[in-house]
Amino acid sequence: MFKKILLAADGSEHSKRSAEHAINLAEKFNGTIEAVYVVDAKSSKEDVLHNVDKYKVKEERQQKIQPVLDLLDNSKVEYNVQMLHGEPGPAIVEYANQHDFDCVVVGSRGLNKLQTMVLGSVSHKLAKHVYCPVLIVK
Amino acid sequence: MKDESYYTTNKRGAKLNLQTIKQNWFGNIKGDVLSGIVVALALIPEAIAFSIIAGVDPMVGLYASFCIAIVIAFIGGRPGMISGATGAMALLMITLIADHGLQYLFAATILTGIIQILFGVFKLSSVMKFVPRSVMVGFVNALAILIFTSQLQHFVGEGWVMYALVGLTLAIIYILPRFTKAIPSTLVAIVVVTAIAIFANFGVRTVGDLGNLTQQLPVFLIPSIPFNFETLMIIFPYSLALAIVGLLESLLTANIVDDMTDTESNKNKESRGQGVANVVTGFFGGMAGCAMIGQSVINVKSGGTGRLSSLVSGVVLMFLIIVLGGVVVQIPMAALAGVMIMVSIGTFDWSSLTNLHKLPRTDAAVMVVTVVTVVVTHDLSKGVLAGVLLSAIFFAAKISKVEVTQIAALEGSKKIYKVYGQVFFASVNDMLDKFDFNDTVKEVEIDLSNAHLWDDSAIGALDKIEMKFEQNNIHVTYSGLNDESKHLKKRIGGFSKASGH
């Protein structure tokens, strides 16, 4: 039933908890996980400015979601990592809807607490616009 | 046979090329047109404000943004990137215009373009890697500070109305996006503040008070300057600084757009494109410009990724000026100052402040020195130079630490010195002190397998070591020279005795 799972990851505490739930789900249904990390315009600018080249940029981003990758590495679930560019909400919605996922797992809030209060969060956008079931982890 | 294969690959190459051209132009028509319009609206206030910073009529900046956007659309190396009149360039030309006038600016702009074209033709974009990251961070921070301080003059002698209007502009710019992102908030801010200023009849200073706006297309003109060596000597320093700063900001912006769109771009082609754009701009009455980080981010965020977006932004910009020129001159300076304060806040790299204590001390020092040099000299290129020089010194200091360890062998009659690190002019003095020349041993072996000899100072130092040991009747042998060091030794012909002559 839940064969192909999308996990929205930003390296926050909430995304670690969502990773645990995604892993449980994948183990139960013998599914695979695709961990997705979105780079928005602001971090694009900062990362390029602070790093020597694009390999270093990639390395630093990988490091940001390392806690989530560690959890995935320690499980038996097959997974891969995808870096997307754009606004986190719409970018994940588009990716999820284009690639026929069975379930999207996302934390109730990410790194940016202020923004969740003012704008309505990524999880809210996903719940509204993704076609498949969305699991919001508290 | 050979010719034929050449022909087919060439043909295939040409076909592929045509496909990329088509993709670059028409792969994203709707996104590019919409984002181009958004960018044009955001470009107008900036082009006017940067002209005022430079001390020229608003038309000079508007013509520059128009010409550069259109030329870059065709020959730039990074589709989706927006170029035009920028703050970094405007700040560099203030004294040239004040001392020598507008015609010299046009000439300097053309020369800037020629330097940039040469830069691209000789594929020098990789030289940019010698500009360390901390210098780049210092560069954008200094730029932000200068844009901010350049606005302070507009507040001199103004009453509360000025402050209130600037405050209102900033409030609209920052609060409106929380509710809608459909219309650029800077545009709304300018329209609202202009409307208030006109209807309330505040009598505040407007764009029209600071310069003229002609509602016509730019025309070709040759700068009316004496074509002699003296003129060249006046404009060359400015052009060189403009060329370097322009390329620095353009290539940084290209890297950011590369990352945002997850695609590659040709940096040498971009350098040539920036050069041609500046040459054209100079002949059409515009000031030198370069790529704009803020506008490019707006463009990509609004869905623009192709060459069409830059073309549309240029055309729409000029169209709006021709149609709405009469309204544009009534924009109060307060609204523009507000927009410029927003630009400076957006340009400043705030994360560098929060991370300053985490950075290595030397990196933080380079960043601060770059910023301070620029703020004191008002010249971004001097700041970059100071930053690059300082980090080169730090680098040399860092790698000039040579370790030498001693191992006794053959029951104390022989000693092995192991040398670790880079042996060159800056490190040899330090290294010499680590040898004990008045030793009682008969033989000394210098193990260089973990060392690298870089220059004749290194060879000279080893000769000196050998000589000093020989004076005390201690025989010296070498081991573990790597190939490159061996080659250097052979070429310079050092190691007088131990090399076995």
Based on the domain organization, do B238 and B363 belong to the same domain? yes
For residue A27, how far is the Cα from the chain centroid?
A: 18
Based on the domain organization, do B382 and B456 belong to the same domain? no
Q: How many domains does chain B have?
A: 2
User: B497: which DSSP letter?
Assistant: T
Nearest Cα residue to B289 out of B109, B466, B414, B111: B109
Based on the domain organization, do B382 and B433 belong to the same domain? no
Residue-level pLDDT at A110: 63
Nearest Cα residue to A58 out of B37, A66, B475: A66
Based on the domain organization, do B475 and B388 belong to the same domain? no
Residue B22 belongs to some domain of the structure: no
For residue B306, how far is the Cα from the chain centroid?
A: 23
Strands (E) across B46-203 are located at: 83-84
Based on the domain organization, do B61 and B188 belong to the same domain? yes
Name the residue among B140, B259, B349 with its Cβ closest to that of A44: B259
What sign does the dihedral A68-A70-A71-A73 (CA atoms) show? positive
Determine the structural domain holding residue B196 and report its residue range.
Answer: 29-392
The pTM (predicted TM-score) of the whole model is: 0.83
CA distance B106 to B129: 30
Q: Write the CATH number for B483.
A: 3.30.750.24
* 8 Å CB contact of A119 and B301: no
Name the residue among A41, A49, A54 with its Cβ closest to that of B349: A49
* 8 Å CB contact of B259 and A47: yes
Domain ranges of chain A: 4-137
What sign does the dihedral A123-A126-A129-A134 (CA atoms) show? negative
Based on the domain organization, do B95 and B240 belong to the same domain? yes
Residue-level pLDDT at B374: 94
Question: In chain A, which residues have their Cβ closer than 8 Å to the Cβ of B133?
Answer: 49-52
Question: In chain A, which residues have their Cβ closer than 8 Å to the Cβ of B262?
Answer: 83, 85
As a whole-number percent, the residues of chain A with pLDDT over 70 amount to 92
Q: Which of B392, B413, B445 is the last residue of a domain?
A: B392
Question: In chain A, which residues have their Cβ closer than 8 Å to the Cβ of B300?
Answer: 41
Burial of B257 (0-12, 13-18, 19+ CB in 10 A): buried
The pair of three-digit structure tokens given for residue B292, joined into one six-digit string: 């704009």
Residues of chain A with pLDDT under 70: 110-120
Strands (E) across B198-239 are located at: none
Based on the domain organization, do B366 and B417 belong to the same domain? no
- Predicted ipTM? 0.85
Nearest Cα residue to A85 out of A136, A30, A44: A44
Any idea which fold A4-137 has? Rossmann fold (3.40.50)
Q: CB-hemisphere CA count at 13 Å for B36?
A: 29
Encode chain B (501 residues) as per-residue pLDDT tens digits: 344 444 444 445 555 678 888 888 888 888 899 999 989 988 999 999 999 999 999 999 999 999 999 999 999 999 999 999 999 999 999 999 999 999 999 999 999 999 999 999 998 877 877 888 899 999 999 999 999 999 998 888 888 889 999 999 999 999 998 888 777 888 899 999 999 998 988 878 888 888 878 888 888 888 889 889 999 999 999 999 999 999 999 999 999 999 999 999 999 999 999 999 999 999 999 999 999 999 999 999 888 999 999 999 999 999 999 998 888 888 999 999 999 999 999 999 998 888 888 888 899 999 999 999 999 998 898 999 999 999 999 988 888 888 888 888 777 788 888 999 888 888 888 888 888 888 788 888 888 888 888 888 888 888 888 888 888 888 888 888 877 777 777 776 655 544 443
Strands (E) across chain A are located at: 4-8, 32-39, 79-85, 103-107, 134-137
Residue-level pLDDT at B216: 82
Residue B9 belongs to some domain of the structure: no
Say if residues B274 and B33 touch (Cβ distance below 8 Å).
Answer: no
Residue-level pLDDT at A111: 60
Provide the Cα torsion B41, A44, B337, B235; round to 10°.
-90
pLDDT digits (tens, 9 = 90+) for B42-75: 899 999 999 999 999 999 999 999 999 999 999 9
Say if residues B366 and B390 touch (Cβ distance below 8 Å).
Answer: yes
* 8 Å CB contact of B133 and A54: no
Based on the domain organization, do B107 and B33 belong to the same domain? yes
Question: In chain A, which residues have their Cβ closer than 8 Å to the Cβ of B259?
Answer: 39, 44, 47-48, 54, 57, 85
The pair of three-digit structure tokens given for residue B142, joined into one six-digit string: 């200094």
Q: Which of B339, B372, B392 is the last residue of a domain?
A: B392
Based on the domain organization, do B411 and B388 belong to the same domain? no
Task: Tell me how close the Cα of B67 comes to any Cα of chain A, in angstroms.
Answer: 26
Residue-level pLDDT at A115: 52
Residue-level pLDDT at B15: 57
* Cβ-based neighbours of A99, under 8 Å, separated by 6 or more: A4, A6, A34
Say if residues A9 and A39 touch (Cβ distance below 8 Å).
Answer: no
**Is residue A54 within a helix (H) or strand (E), and if so which, with residue range?**
helix A54-64
Residue-level pLDDT at B3: 43
Based on the domain organization, do B266 and B328 belong to the same domain? yes
CA distance A53 to B258: 12
Phi-psi region of B201 (alpha: psi -120 to 50; beta: other; left: phi over 0): left
Q: How many residues does chain B have?
A: 501
* 8 Å CB contact of B262 and A119: no
- Chain A: residue whose CA lies nearest to B356: A50
Residue-level pLDDT at B49: 92
Count of A–B CB contacts within 8 Å? 47
Task: Tell me how close the Cα of A48 comes to any Cα of chain B, in angstroms.
Answer: 6
Residue-level pLDDT at B8: 41
Task: Tell me how close the Cα of A76 comes to any Cα of chain B, in angstroms.
Answer: 31
Residue-level pLDDT at B455: 85
Q: Which of B334, B358, B392 is the last residue of a domain?
A: B392
Based on the domain organization, do B248 and B343 belong to the same domain? yes
DSSP code per residue over B432-480: HTTS-TT---SEEEEEEEEEEE-SHHHHHHHHHHHHHHHHTT-EEEEE-
**Is residue B414 within a helix (H) or strand (E), and if so which, with residue range?**
strand B414-423
For A118, B195, B342, the CA distances from B169, given in Å and listed in that order, are: 21, 12, 9
Based on the domain organization, do B365 and B434 belong to the same domain? no
Name the residue among A46, A54, A85 with its Cβ closest to that of B261: A85
